């Protein structure tokens, strides 16, 4: 079989991936992790510029591949990795906008659960709604790693939204604060649903890139290069 014929989106063989894949949204962040943290890293996928690498971190074989933006994109890649490439765990490492007033730029949010305004769950043909949650083992390891390193972090619920430019603006998103939601991003809920359906593991760890209430933001270069603490947590807990 031609490896590229397995799926239209990933052009390699299943054995080219490690059992754990770190998944940033940005392909350039995947490249940065491979070049700065992994040894013997090899580019295993570059279809549509979605770069995937496999190498070693402290003796552990680990892969890192971008997800692109939004639930449709991570939905495709996580589905294929879990079901066609035999990946066991995916750890999303991304950026998020702070909803909780105590969060600061560069704080880490560990997503215990992921609320969503998406209809992604309707794909599974089950009546009702579903509460997407993280794998508890990965979650526990991430919390302990943050504690041991003295990192600023919060553990709790996040919002995975389908819409970046919503008509209601910031105030609409901030309404989720009433229910203790910490931050908003665009991928975790779909990842958690795909993991649950496949019987696999998933965790989303996000770094706060902007404060929704006061408008403070990080630059694209800062998001690409300055999320080292989050990356190191994910690399440490990778199995």
Digit-coded pLDDT (tens) for 91-130:
999 999 999 999 999 999 999 999 999 999 999 999 999 9
In the predicted model, is pLDDT for residue 35 greater than 50? yes
The answer to whether 212 and 169 have CB atoms below 8 angstroms apart is no
* pLDDT at position 215: 84
Per-residue H/E/C for 104-120: CCCCEEEEEEEEECCCH
Instruction: Classify domain 3-237 by CATH architecture.
Output: 3-Layer(aba) Sandwich (3.40)
141/102 Cα distance (integer angstroms): 23
Percentage of the chain lying above the pLDDT 90 cut: 87
Which residue in 128, 125, 139 sits closest to 192, CA to CA?
Answer: 139
Instruction: Give the angle subtended at the CA of 116 by the CAs of 111 and 118, to the nearest 5°.
Output: 140
Across residues 15-31, what is the average pLDDT? 95
The answer to whether 22 and 234 have CB atoms below 8 angstroms apart is yes
The answer to whether 55 and 39 have CB atoms below 8 angstroms apart is yes
Instruction: Give the angle subtended at the CA of 81 by the CAs of 33 and 41, to the nearest 5°.
Output: 30
* pLDDT at position 1: 40
**SS3 state of residue 205:** strand
In the predicted model, is pLDDT for residue 83 greater than 60? yes
| Residues annotated catalytic, as ranges | 210
* pLDDT at position 227: 86
Digit-coded pLDDT (tens) for 168-216:
889 999 999 999 999 999 999 999 999 999 999 999 999 999 999 888 8
96/109 Cα distance (integer angstroms): 8
Going by the DSSP 8-state scheme, the letter that residue 16 receives in this structure is: G
* pLDDT at position 224: 60
234/232 Cα distance (integer angstroms): 5
* Res. 47 pLDDT band, cuts 50 70 90: very high
* Res. 45 pLDDT band, cuts 50 70 90: very high
Task: Pick 21 or 11 by higher pLDDT.
Answer: 21
Could you write out the DSSP letters of every residue in 148-171? Answer: HTT--EEEEEEEE-S-SS-TTHHH
Phi first, then psi: what are they for 20, rounded to 5°? -115, 130
* Res. 225 pLDDT band, cuts 50 70 90: low
In the predicted model, is pLDDT for residue 231 greater than 80? yes
Per mean pLDDT, which range of 4-8, 55-59, 120-124, 184-188 is the poorest? 4-8
Which residue in 7, 5, 16, 10 sits closest to 63, CA to CA?
Answer: 16
């Amino acid at each position: 079989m031609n490896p590229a014929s397995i799926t239209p989106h990933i052009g390699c063989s299943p054995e080219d991936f490690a059992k754990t894949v770190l998944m940033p949204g940005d392909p350039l962040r995947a490249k940065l992790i491979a070049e700065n943290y992994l040894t013997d890293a090899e580019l295993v996928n570059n279809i549509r510029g979605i770069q995937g690498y496999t190498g070693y971190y402290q003796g552990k074989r680990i892969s890192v591949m971008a997800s692109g933006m939004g639930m449709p994109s991570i939905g495709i890649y996580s589905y294929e990795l879990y079901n066609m490439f035999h990946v066991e765990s995916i750890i999303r490492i991304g950026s998020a906008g702070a909803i909780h007033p105590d969060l600061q730029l560069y704080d880490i949010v560990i997503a215990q659960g992921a609320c969503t305004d998406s209809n992604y769950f309707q794909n599974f043909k089950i009546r009702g709604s579903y509460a997407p949650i993280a794998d508890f083992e990965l979650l526990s390891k991430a919390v302990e790693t943050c504690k041991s390193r003295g990192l600023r972090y919060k553990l709790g619920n996040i919002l995975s939204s389908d819409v970046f430019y919503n008509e209601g603006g910031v105030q609409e998103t901030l309404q989720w604060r009433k229910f203790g939601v910490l931050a908003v991003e665009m991928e975790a809920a779909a990842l958690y649903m795909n993991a649950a359906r496949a019987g696999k593991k998933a965790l989303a760890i996000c770094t706060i890139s902007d404060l929704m209430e006061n408008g403070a933001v990080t630059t694209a270069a800062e998001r690409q290069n300055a999320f080292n603490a989050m990356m190191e947590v994910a690399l440490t807990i990778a199995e």
